[in-house]
A and B are shown apart, each in its own frame.
Chain A
Amino acid sequence: MSSVNFINLTAKEITDGIINKKWTAKEILSSFIGHIKKHDMFLNSIITLSEEQAIADATRVDAVIARGENPGLLAGVPFLVKDNICTEGIKTTCGSKMLQNWVPLYDSTAVKNMREAGAVLLGKTNMDEFAMGDTTETSFFGRTKNPRNISFIAGGSSGGSAAAVAAGFCPIALGTDTGGSIRQPSAFCGVHGMKPSYGQVSRYGVVGYASSLDQVGPITRSIEDMATVMDVLAKADTNDSTCDAFDRQSFSLLGKGKQELKGKKIAILSGYDKKLVDKQLLEAIDQTVKICIEEGADVFEVELPIALKYAVACYNIVAFSDASSKLACYDGMRYGYHEDGKNLSEMYKKSRSSGFGEEVRHRIIIGTAFLTQGYYEEYYIPATKVRQLIVEEFMNLYQKADVLISPVSPTLPNREGIIEELDAQSYLKTFFTCIANLAGIPALSLNVGFTPEGVPTNVQLCCPRYEDGTLLSIATIIEKNIGSPYVAELISDEGVN
């Protein structure tokens, strides 16, 4: 089988082929490695390619198959991981000069679970520095280009992971999402991305940005694959006390079993200024609504007035405050970038000033201010109260709805560089995604096709907390009607693939 065929396969197809001995994990791997080596120099989606480790992992999977043992749900599936998720023996840079050469001594729980399920780790993907940014332009390693069109932005902060999946470098990548960092780049790169419920996936080994908002989640080209990954990731973890024990549904079964939208109550978000949202994205929502109605769902509009008014301010205060605290450990002493100083204080200043990029410094300084006496009472305390009101607003919404549909981002990715939007548009850019992090609910950025010019379009689906299974089953039905996104056609110096 040619490499082009391999890279178009879903995780499910790869695993089935390995189990049925149509191909081996090593064959799969070498095809993906070849594809990456040929094209990533143009995309810059990967910071570290860990080929040796991947070969060892693939060899192990083949041996397990040869022995006739259970190879796991993701046997032989190559995957990439955002570079703020710790990997034993493989550099984990967080896209920063600060951790440019840092090699963790342990695997994060997410990576450990993936590898135990037979998935083969290929390496680490590019990202905005410490997950702060939405274009990958704040990465110390340069920005990632969008495989759908290299003049588009890939989005961020998990831009490397989303681009890699779109480019066919792997059928699955992991990202992290603090305010939209999985969903927005997935939307821009034309793939699916999911932020699970807070507490559904262990954060152990994820370099923290904001402890109460961060979640690890999958980026895929098929909802079935996404459900399988969630099946592997969603486990209580004794290393993370916020990843609580809960009755875990089997997501991959939900993805396959009997699902229907008949009688489902579907809320369409309204109340925001629709003029600020790209027409083609509003059309994508209309198209999705049409499918839902045809499937027998009950569709109506809702507003979230408190969230609309306060969510972004609340999000910025909560996230930046926590970032100022979480990033305080990078003092140049035990790990990371170090510069000598006359005394302790000067060493801190020099190491932190040079080790962090501008956006990170900016957020740390603002976050520090939010927590300083006086401002704490004026900003931080009200923000936590407003957050509680937003949680309640969602709880009320879900009294009458099973799922909320909204845009992911108000804009399409078809331009280069940091977007020069209207202030209001920039507000919505954070709004649609950050509400899910504030409320702790699961949210999925679903690709619903492409414009005639090949620009990906998408919708966001949000379900109540811990209803990740419901979210995936609804996404499955919509995807069935529309089809999964295809692998991007990459242009290299050798011409079109």
Chain B
Amino acid sequence: MKRQVVIGLEIHLQLKTRSKLFCSCSTDYVGAIPNTNVCPICLAVPGTLPLLNELAVEQAVKLGLALHCNIQDQTRFYRKHYFYADLPKAYQVTQYDHPIAMGGYLDILVEGKEKRVHLDHLHLEEDAGKLVHQTADGRLSGASHSFVDYNRGGMPLSEIVSKPEINSSAEAVAYITQIRQLARYLKVSDGEMESGSLRVDVNVSLSKDDGSLGTRVEIKNINSLKSIERALEFEIARQNRILDEGEALIQETRLWDDAVGVTRSMRGKENANDYRYFLEMDLAPINADIEYVEKIRHTLTEMPWDKRNRIVEKYKISFEESLLLTEQKELADYFEDCVKNGASAARTSNWIRTEVLRVLRDQKIDISNFPIASKDLATLIKKIDKKEISNTLAKDVMSAMLEKNMGLDKALHDCGGDSGRVTGVNLQLVINKIIETEPEAAEVVRSGQDKKGAKIKYLQGLVMRETRGSADHQEVIDILKRTLE
């Protein structure tokens, strides 16, 4: 009998606040000089007391509401004790058996199918500092000393704990991706695994032959979506192998070694920690009464899954297209702005998915930094819709706008795209082609023997024919003269 894979995920999201969870230190610590974003409170200087950042509470409530959780009023913080150099108080302030948000669920998409994953809870807590193990000359191996940087200590985190209802690595990745998208939609977190603003601990077990739950193993230190997949595949195979051999698994925490591609047991005391959870009496209960929660609920904007479905309905585009357009809220907004400005939905969708996304990818920028305003792109697409310009010409216009930093009108003019006339560069291209096919007439003009101007008139006629009369007579003459001088 095949064993069922059972996965539970704990996602830590670093909340996007300006100051830390319990003090006024800046949260802008990435790249900051070590131990500069610190103060007496986050360094646990004797006599200091924590002060709760209300924005962090608001963001946790926002996340909780979006995840259909029950928001709890008057919940408390607890102290989770352990001695380590990255934890100045020797306890982490976190929540315990009554967290701020209980229950809830998240619908995820795996291979086109929707699946509902229930949540256990969501809570607020502070982050720890960071240890750097390196030698005086900067080498990391063989270090005799460790350095500690408290800049990250006290950063606000929201931990989302799922029920063990995820049954494959693909589902795990889909779940994490959906949480990340939600966090970004709500603007409560950057959700970047690489920089550590989204971190995942994985609990995985294989159900026993009789269907009952197996021994659970926790995996830590996974820093990318790709690694989540690899770590899970490795761990599932490892557990299957051990069970196939008739041996028992140990309930433990294992660390993912990304370079080698294996999980390793965290030996020693770390596995037997008793955190001695204890009520944090230095902080008053968190106020989150109905009135407050409802006020926050009213600030919630459209959820990504709702936006995805609405765009399919409203604009009659495919679900796959909608999925791509709604990946980022700002991209979906850009799409809808274009359509609002009169561009056809189908063409706009195509343009964004191909042209716009390509530019964003190449330039490694975000849609919010895309230099072409939605109303300009809409104008361009409308021209294609009305067959005033060709698709190819429109792309040229966009390139001109991006590369030469031109406004729409100038780019259209230069590309010969204004009022459907062939002009400028485009006219030059046509003229070049005509000169190539008519070398004799061209030579007459070039050598100055076309006294009566018959040959140049002849060439002009050919150009006018080629452009179906949409070029300016005088501009054709001017360009011909310039080219053949």
Contact = CB atoms under 8 A, between A and B. Distances in A.
A211 B281 contact: yes
Interface string A193-211: 0000000000111111011
Interface in A200-224: 203-208, 210-212
Interface of B: 40, 43-52, 79, 81, 83-85, 88-91, 146, 148, 274, 276-284
B47 A329 contact: no
B276 A335 contact: no
A203 B49 contact: yes
**7 tightest A-B CB contacts, nearest first:** A328-B90, A211-B281, A371-B276, A212-B281, A205-B47, A329-B44, A86-B47
Max chain A CB contacts within 10 Å: which of B49, B83, B85?
A: B49
Contact of A108 (B47, B148, B276, B280): B47
A324 B89 CA distance: 12
A414 interface: no
12 contacts: A104-B46, A204-B48, A205-B47, A206-B47, A238-B51, A239-B51, A241-B49, A325-B79, A328-B83, A334-B43, A334-B45, A371-B278
B284 A242 contact: yes
Given A211-B281, A325-B278, A334 B44 contact: yes
Contacts of B146: 344
Given A321-B278, A322-B278, A368-B276, A329 B89 contact: yes
A491 to B, nearest CB: 37
Contacts of A325: 79, 81, 91, 276, 278
B46 A329 contact: yes
A344 B82 CA distance: 13
Q: Majority SS of interface residues in chain B?
A: loop
Contacts of B280: 211
Given A94-B46, A204-B48, A210-B281, 18 more contacts: A86-B46, A104-B46, A208-B47, A241-B52, A242-B49, A242-B284, A325-B278, A328-B83, A328-B90, A329-B88, A329-B90, A335-B45, A348-B83, A371-B276, A371-B278, A372-B274, A372-B276, A376-B277
A105 interface: yes
Contacts of B148: 333
A427 interface: no
Interface in A370-387: 371-373, 376, 380, 384
Interface string A402-429: 0000000000000000000000000000
A231 interface: no
A105 B40 contact: yes
Given A241-B283, A372-B276, A344 B85 contact: yes
A93 B125 CA distance: 31
B40 A106 contact: yes
A328 B49 contact: no
Contacts of B88: 329, 333-334
B133 to A, nearest CB: 12
A472 interface: no
A373 B272 CA distance: 12
Nearest to A343: B146
Contacts of A334: 43-45, 88
A310 interface: no
A254 interface: no
Nearest to A241: B284
Contacts of B48: 204-205
Given A106-B40, A328-B83, A241 B51 contact: yes
Contacts of A242: 49, 281-284
B274 A373 contact: yes
Interface in A288-334: 321-322, 324-325, 328-329, 331, 333-334
Contacts of B89: 328-329
A452 B48 CA distance: 46
Contacts of A372: 274, 276
